[in-house]
Structure 1
Amino acid sequence: MAAPATQTRPYRDFLTPSLHRRFTDASGYTIALCYFIALWMGEWNNFLDIWSWFPIGPAGIRTLLLFIPALAIYILRVAQWHVGQRNTENPFNSFKKYFFRKSTFSTIAFYTISAWFYSEVYVWTRSSRAQLQYTDNGKHYDRIKLNERPLYFRFMFIALAIAQATVHLWKDYDKINVPGLKPKKERKEESPATESAARSVKLSRELVQKVIPVGAQIGIVVSVTLLAGTAVYFAVLRNYIWDWHYGFAKRLVSLSRTSKPTGLVPYLPLVGMFLVQGTLLTTLWEFANKTFDLYVSQEPLKKDNPITNDSKDPNGSLLNGLKSKKDDVKAIAFWELALITENFLDRRTTIYGELDRKKAPTYLQVTEICLAELRFIIRRISAVIDPNYVGEEVDSKKTVPTPISLIPQISQPIKEGQIKGPRQAPVTPFEQIEYVASNIARSHSSSQNAQNAQMRQVLKKGQEKAAQGAKEIESAWTVWSNKLTSSVFGWPFRVYMRRIAIMVVTGAPYSRISLISNAVTALTNLTVHSLTEDTWGQFQNQVPDIVRVFTAAIHKIDEYVATLQVHWSDVDSLSRPESERKKIPEVEEVREVLREGLERILGAFNEYLRNLGMSVKDLSEAKKAIVRQTQTQPEVEQVRR
């Protein structure tokens, strides 16, 4: 079968509309929450007043206005989402690497804009009883004063935005969990259409399950903001904020000459308003984040079919996604490939049949792209185990330097050491004795010898004292640093074996575990089903290379895990039993995916591999990898639970 001759559309032409549809679905739930908050803000003088809750009216206008703070969070998430967890050596490296990035300041800015707009909507919809007007008229004989209450109220919402942005950055809300499919031992053909009717109900339940656990976190964030923000306002910023605000306001309104803060009396109702509205705003933020996570992490399907099915060259568009330079797009393309090889028979057969594609047959390009992810694991581990390791790509580009022709040497090299001037050689025996004696006298009886000896002795003592002092300082610093690192305050600086192992095996700066799992699953499915679906019989030539790479990756992971050492500062690992310290769930997951894939491939092709060019040694190594992993399988399942 020949590939379509039409121009292949980019993968983003299908991914972007899919994300837009999911964003619209998530926004529907968020607007419903905004409508509830808008009703809460309303003046409920009469519960039977339809105008108070009818969507086409004040409640509807407030709903649209309150959706703007949520929309700011959605824009932030669209701009900064990434696939996979952050991988760093310790929390301090995370702070050093991510705090001064543009995305960090963007997060704080978007949350601040969102909180400010929410506070403005609330302030301008309040009646005079809330005493949140811009000015305080006081009694009829008093001059107009600047009201401090709305100033403090707005400041507290800005503080709440900074607190929530800190939580956002700390917990990495920008992360999207793209699942990695696992190779199935017993494959059961299932049509995704059978699940379409229950999908919306499932998503609703998952949304509720995600939102309910953050209730305690919302209460903590609002309470801490109230205490810390109030302390900072009164102790540090009150006069500065008031002077700046007063200097601006007196140009707009005729105010009294006093420039002192007017007070927040009555204070408790103001605190109550912030607690209620701060809780509602934080709930809106968390709800927007959870809905975005839930809907963006849906399967890359449209009407129960892969999103690239609408392309005139579906596999060409998918290959563009698999080759994307953006890891986020690449991760979703790998997910779609794994789904295609698992559930969609028609698309899977086209991968075998497109032999006339421009660069290479479709199956060959897919195989090389997937194997590249596994070779990447081998290179990362090899570079850690052997510092002198050089990858194949570097070796192939190495050239032997050509010798440089130099001008032949025409003179003797310059002598090193002390150069003495010429002297007449002694002739008579008396002159020879005099010459030897004078040399001895000059070397041992110089007037500077005594001074030089004393200076050498003083210098030697000084060096000994300096060395001793350096050792004492070094030992004191070591003891002090060890105590600090082992304490609660030193946890950001500890050396964590688990974090380092995850970085090496799954990649950095973000984990590539989903790409690895989906690549293994795609290769496994293509290999197993090629026995019955590859009518041209071309894919079988790739099987030996797939088996070798799977086996090498497993052996490299085992070799690396065996070399792991627990650092003295890794309190978490030291607190576990010694037999459990090297069992890292993320590493075990990658190793188990490879083992299951290799087991399925050997089970399907075992009797054909010798004829395909595999040696007895290669087959023996592959079977050993499966046996060794099978023995530790109960332990792996226990760690996962």
Structure 2
Amino acid sequence: MALAPLGTQVRPYRDYLTPALHRRFNKASRYTLLLCYAIACWMGEWDNMLWLWFPLGLTGIRTLLIFLSALSIYVLRVAQWHVGRRQTETRVETFTRYFFRPATLITLVAYAFSAMLFVETYVWSRGTQARLNFIEAGRMHERFRLNERPLYLRYLFYLLSAAQSGVHLWRDYDKIELQAMKPKKERGDATTSTPARRGPKPRHVLTRSLKGIATQSTFLASVIAAAGFCLYYLGTRNLIWSYYYSFSRYLWSLSKTSTPTGLAPFLPLCFMFVTEGTLLVVLWEFVNKTFDVYLAQEPLKNDVPITNDSTDPNGSLLNGLKSKKDTVKAIAFWELALITDAFPERRKTIYSEMDRKKAPTHQQVTDICLGQLKWLIERVSAGLDPAYQPGDASGQDKPAGPISLVPRIAQPLKDDKPIAAAPPQPSTRWEHVEAATASIAKSHSAPGNAQQAYSREAINKGMKKAQEGAREAESFFTTYYNKLVSSPVGLLFQHSFQRTSNIVVLGAPYSQLSQVCNAATALANLAVFSLAEDSLGRFHQGIPSIVRIFTIALKKIDEYMDTAPIHWSDKETNGKPEAERRKVPEVDEARECLRQGLEKVLGSFNEYLSGMGLSRLEIMEAKKVVGVKKAPEMIQAGAKQ
């Protein structure tokens, strides 16, 4: 894990992340293939138990076809996954931003294709007694008749795919929640590592979630069976049948009856759909669950960081931290937090690598993590003051004054004296008449005189009426908009304090909670362990910046959460007790990560802070923002200084 020799090209972080994701996908596919095999056995003929479960016969073919149905959802998840929850101000903004986009159509097509493979496999697996063929032969002297049963069954399955697409988009199944690590309360021994795995094993999570998946799937299939039955017979039956008949009459010699009559015996078919539709939704939900569980695993390979295989591990990690893709950057921050917390040998290399091209490794890591926190400070500052500009800080370069290229040969003009000379006074009679005539013409051509004209007066009256109409229209719109927002339908337009706070503190369009917490945890761990592991004694130079940035971030968050207005339409927040109105779980979690990190740094460097360049006021401010109840010994120690 030493620094690579000069001239060695550092491999990108994705060269180690992509194989890790492939390994997780293979593990998830094994459980999915097992579920597909169980469904294939259920679809088979139960007259011969040997061939029912034998994988090299028809059961194996059904298993592969059903697995292709599941694979289409895996491809969808791989193409559209993102880290963090969606961040929007209102529910209607969520709809307009995420519904009218190509990804929505891709989601609908993927689920429809999956449903098509599943239902065709099921129809193929049924015998003639199920009456799922497209045509019915009837008697010898009769023409073929179209069978409505397979049409209705496919209709229900496609309707089920549309409903599942809506659930997918509504619950944001494309979201992956990465772990937001927090600094430990106790430093512990720097020479021993903690267990790498922080969560339960994936198979245990999948086993516990099967009951909930089955319940949800049965409910959705039952609702679609009832809603599809009503919708089919109330308006879409003749429309679907017309296209069905127009296409089929080119394939078979059909009777001239072009519309279905009567009510076919669809009750057994509905029970058939509820059973098989439940299995299909179980397959979809299981695929989504396995993808979430395995993709959200720690960035480890054989219980060590995934970049340990690189010739320059820290160089590859830095490439990941600097990545332009938020998903790659988020996982790189998580790996950095794990390294600083549970892998002491790898952590020591961060302190010791001083000959890196741009800057020492520890300095680059510190700058990147502090940059993540500075970005948080800028977001909150903009939330407190909409006119805030990051460049408004003191110390910025000011525009230079004009450059004089020619030496001055005369004094500048004075403002209190006129530039042009006064006209000569009239001396003759004709000059007096001419001056009087010119003054009269100037007075009648002045702007003030033009405004008194009839045309100008009419224009002014029209402008006043237009302004009054605009104000009346605005008040009319405001009145009815307020009524709409106050109604139950207005839930889509209501502004939520929780949503706004999450956007301001954690960013948009997706939450950056994991990046903020993992960056804070990495900085706190590097600072604390540097006392024992930084043999060169260079990391302590960044302690003042870490303390200042942590303090400013905590103060900004507290100021915003205490002073941010609660919108009048936010009935959910206004209905809570006064003490709970300004509590937002995600913001509180981010603040606690920062607070614990600052508490660890202050506890380790308490007696050295004044000698590192921090003023007494800055030290007391940092200890104050940590909290008197959280660290009374720090406040007492600061008072003695």
Call closer, same or farther: CA 1:195–1:470 in 2, change over 3 Å. Answer: closer
> What runs of 5+ residues in structure 2 fail to find an aligned partner?
405-411, 420-428, 437-451, 633-641
Call closer, same or farther: CA 1:128–1:385 in 2, change over 3 Å. Answer: same
Q: Give the match for residue 15 of structure 2.
A: 13
Q: Give the match for residue 356 of structure 1.
A: 355
Give the 3-state SS of the residue equivalent to 1:611 in structure 2.
Answer: helix
Give the deviation of 1:262 after TM superposition: 6.1
Q: Distance in 2 between matches of 1:473 and 1:320?
A: 56
Q: Give the match for residue 178 of structure 1.
A: 178
Give the deviation of 1:337 after TM superposition: 0.5
Matched, 1:341 2:340: yes
Q: Distance in 2 between matches of 1:17 and 1:464?
A: 70
Q: Give the match for residue 539 of structure 1.
A: 539
Q: Give the match for residue 212 of structure 1.
A: 211
Give the deviation of 1:229 after TM superposition: 2.8
Call closer, same or farther: CA 1:278–1:401 in 2, change over 3 Å. Answer: farther
Per-residue deviation, residues 170-197 of structure 1 (Å, max 9, x unmatched): 000011110111000214466566969x
Q: Is the 8 A contact 2:384 2:564 kept in 1?
A: no
Per-residue deviation, residues 114-172 of structure 1 (Å, max 9, x unmatched): 01111110111111111110211122221012222211211211111110010000000
Q: Give the match for residue 42 of structure 1.
A: 44
Q: Distance in 2 between matches of 1:563 and 1:289?
A: 40
Q: Distance in 2 between matches of 1:88 and 1:595?
A: 27
Q: Give the match for residue 321 of structure 1.
A: 320
Give the deviation of 1:37 after TM superposition: 1.0
Q: Is the 8 A contact 1:147 1:262 kept in 2?
A: no
Q: Is the 8 A contact 1:2 1:357 kept in 2?
A: no
Per-residue deviation, residues 305-356 of structure 1 (Å, max 9, x unmatched): 1111111111111111111111111111111110100010100000000100
Give the deviation of 1:479 after TM superposition: 3.6
Q: Which AA in structure 2 matches 1:7?
A: Q
Q: Give the match for residue 270 of structure 2.
A: 271
Q: Distance in 2 between matches of 1:631 and 1:508?
A: 33
Q: Give the match for residue 436 of structure 1.
A: none
Q: Distance in 2 between matches of 1:96 and 1:277?
A: 34
> What runs of 5+ residues in structure 1 fail to find an aligned partner?
414-422, 433-448, 633-641
Call closer, same or farther: CA 1:499–1:105 in 2, change over 3 Å. Answer: same
Matched, 1:239 2:238: yes
Q: Give the match for residue 34 of structure 2.
A: 32
Call closer, same or farther: CA 1:148–1:513 in 2, change over 3 Å. Answer: same
Q: Which AA in structure 1 matches 2:609?
A: L
Q: Is the 8 A contact 2:82 2:174 kept in 1?
A: yes
Give the deviation of 1:218 after TM superposition: 2.1
Q: Distance in 1 between matches of 2:343 and 2:262?
A: 69
Q: Give the match for residue 74 of structure 2.
A: 74
Q: Distance in 1 between matches of 2:262 and 2:74?
A: 37
Q: Distance in 2 between matches of 1:261 and 1:404?
A: 90
Q: Give the match for residue 118 of structure 2.
A: 118
Q: Distance in 2 between matches of 1:324 and 1:194?
A: 24
Q: Distance in 2 between matches of 1:468 and 1:65?
A: 69
Call closer, same or farther: CA 1:262–1:11 in 2, change over 3 Å. Answer: farther
Q: Distance in 1 between matches of 2:165 and 2:590?
A: 33
Q: Which AA in structure 2 matches 1:118?
A: F
Q: If the length of structure 1 is used for normalisation, what is the TM-score?
A: 0.86
RMSD: 3.6
Give the deviation of 1:396 after TM superposition: 8.6
Give the 3-state SS of the residue equivalent to 1:115 in structure 2.
Answer: helix
How do 1:413-452 residues align onto structure 2 when only pairs under 5 Å count?
none
Q: Is the 8 A contact 2:2 2:312 kept in 1?
A: no
Matched, 1:129 2:136: no
Give the deviation of 1:593 after TM superposition: 0.9
Q: Is the 8 A contact 2:197 2:298 kept in 1?
A: no
Q: Is the 8 A contact 2:193 2:344 kept in 1?
A: no
Call closer, same or farther: CA 1:463–1:615 in 2, change over 3 Å. Answer: closer
Call closer, same or farther: CA 1:316–1:426 in 2, change over 3 Å. Answer: closer
Call closer, same or farther: CA 1:404–1:132 in 2, change over 3 Å. Answer: farther
How do 1:617-628 residues align onto structure 2 when only pairs under 5 Å count?
617-627=617-627
Q: Give the match for residue 379 of structure 1.
A: 378
Q: Distance in 1 between matches of 2:631 and 2:230?
A: 59
Q: Give the match for residue 89 of structure 1.
A: 89
Q: Distance in 2 between matches of 1:352 and 1:263?
A: 81
Q: Which AA in structure 2 matches 1:384?
A: G
Call closer, same or farther: CA 1:360–1:227 in 2, change over 3 Å. Answer: same
Q: Give the match for residue 390 of structure 2.
A: 391
Segment of structure 1 superposing worse, 251-260 or 367-376: 251-260
Q: How many residues end up aligned between the 2 structures?
A: 606
Per-residue deviation, residues 551-572 of structure 1 (Å, max 9, x unmatched): 1111111121122111110011
Give the deviation of 1:465 after TM superposition: 8.3
Call closer, same or farther: CA 1:317–1:472 in 2, change over 3 Å. Answer: closer
Q: Distance in 1 between matches of 2:519 and 2:298?
A: 16
Call closer, same or farther: CA 1:571–1:215 in 2, change over 3 Å. Answer: farther
Q: If the length of structure 2 is used for normalisation, what is the TM-score?
A: 0.86
Q: Give the match for residue 160 of structure 1.
A: 160
Q: Which AA in structure 2 matches 1:349?
A: K
Give the 3-state SS of the residue equivalent to 2:219 in structure 1.
Answer: helix
Q: Is the 8 A contact 2:135 2:147 kept in 1?
A: yes
Call closer, same or farther: CA 1:211–1:402 in 2, change over 3 Å. Answer: farther
Q: Which AA in structure 2 matches 1:259?
A: S
Percentage of pairs with the same residue: 53
Call closer, same or farther: CA 1:32–1:397 in 2, change over 3 Å. Answer: farther
Q: Distance in 2 between matches of 1:116 and 1:452?
A: 76
Call closer, same or farther: CA 1:589–1:628 in 2, change over 3 Å. Answer: farther
Matched, 1:145 2:145: yes
Q: Give the match for residue 569 of structure 1.
A: 569
Matched, 1:223 2:222: yes
Q: Distance in 1 between matches of 2:378 and 2:197?
A: 40
Give the deviation of 1:507 after TM superposition: 0.7
